[in-house]
A and B are shown apart, each in its own frame.
Chain A
Amino acid sequence: MTQTKSTPGGRGTLYKGREGMWSWVGHRITGVGIFFFLLVHVLDTSLVRVSPEAYNAVIGAYKHPIMIFGEIGLVGAIVFHAFNGLRIILVDFWKQGTRYHKHMLYAVLILWFVTMAAFSARHLMIFFGGE
């Protein structure tokens, strides 16, 4: 069978199904998730104007064991969106950006993994080590 696709492996095109597309998908999904958390987070913080008891009661929900893992997921989304966002800026403004965009995505994923390993360890240690 003749290979007529534009990439060596014949896997779709330059963009579809490859690093460029998946980083875009990841950026979009994490962005939407962070946006909705932000709406909730401003509302819960606004309870400091209602009463200290109301604020402490609602913020206490973030200290539930299930929420601790939710926070790790949230920070995971933020860290990916942050690092990949810096990659997008480099693709746009750095002369060699488009040449190295795949390398930069792998760098983003490695940095994400290192950052999240450190954050998760510290967050869990504080949670289980505290009261």
Chain B
Amino acid sequence: MTTTNSDAVLPSQGIEAPRSGRIDPKYLRSNPSTGSFEMVAWVFMRVSGAALVVLIFVHLWTNLMVGDGIHQIDFAFVAGKWANPVWQFWDLTMLWLAMLHGTNGMRTIINDYAEKDSTRLWLKSMLYVASAVIIILGTMVIFTFEPCLTDDAGNLLEGVAPQFCHGVTN
């Protein structure tokens, strides 16, 4: 497949300007059939990066800067946040965007520094498996989370259940 540019041929001289077409595919830097992937990845890094600035700064603000900060983080705190669908959606979006952004960044770094084909293949295989496991695990945790745990007799577990559980089951 070649690219053509009708203006590039100079009729008066009978020669073509450089890179005007008829490039043997083996000299092209990208495979025309997969060429758009890298551009989509490039756009994704910028779009997801801008979104992650907001997602992560708010995440750090609500968890560490207000209330009791680091001291407040425990099971009941997580349960209280995920009782609100907005925070479920927030954390889910953050999980997916951050993992895909980070995985693509690591892919770029592996491509830069691992020179042997087999080394690149192995490193990227491990990267993709690890990323898939983390994304699937995190997604399942957000959607299957049970805030109001009870014992065998059906009573709320004391000391760990967030405040709102008491209103629901009593």
Contacts from A to B (Cβ < 8 Å): 28, 31-32, 34-35, 38-39, 42-43, 45-46, 48-49, 52-53, 55-56, 59, 62-63, 68, 71, 75, 78, 82, 85-86, 88-89, 92-93, 119, 122-123, 126-127, 130-131
Within 8 A of A (CB), among B28-64: 46, 49-50, 52-53, 56-57, 60, 64
Is B70 in contact with A127, judged by CB distance below 8 angstroms? yes
Chain B 71-107 near chain A by CB (<8 Å), digits 1 or 0? 1011110110000000000000001001100110110
Is B74 in contact with A55, judged by CB distance below 8 angstroms? yes
Is B74 in contact with A56, judged by CB distance below 8 angstroms? yes
Cα of A18 to Cα of B30 in the assembled complex, Å: 30
B145 contacts partner chain A, Cβ-Cβ < 8 Å: yes
A126 vs chain B, min Cβ distance (A): 3
**With A53-B160, A78-B56, A85-B49 in contact, do A123 and B98 touch (Cβ < 8 Å)?**
no
Is B160 in contact with A31, judged by CB distance below 8 angstroms? no
Is B141 in contact with A126, judged by CB distance below 8 angstroms? no
Total A-B Cβ pairs within 8 A? 104
Is A42 in contact with B137, judged by CB distance below 8 angstroms? yes
B130 contacts partner chain A, Cβ-Cβ < 8 Å: yes
Is A46 in contact with B141, judged by CB distance below 8 angstroms? yes
Is A126 in contact with B106, judged by CB distance below 8 angstroms? no
**With A45-B78, A127-B69 in contact, do A86 and B53 touch (Cβ < 8 Å)?**
yes
A56: B residues at CB distance < 8 A: 74-75, 160
Residue among B102, B138, B141, B145 making CB contact with A31, cutoff 8 Å: B102
Cα of A7 to Cα of B149 in the assembled complex, Å: 66
B71: A residues at CB distance < 8 A: 63, 126-127, 130-131
Is B75 in contact with A52, judged by CB distance below 8 angstroms? yes
Q: What are 23 A-B pairs at a CB distance below 8 A?
A: A28-B109, A32-B105, A32-B106, A35-B103, A38-B98, A38-B134, A42-B99, A42-B134, A42-B137, A43-B137, A45-B78, A52-B75, A52-B149, A56-B74, A56-B75, A56-B160, A78-B56, A82-B56, A82-B57, A86-B50, A119-B60, A123-B70, A127-B69
Cα of A85 to Cα of B101 in the assembled complex, Å: 12
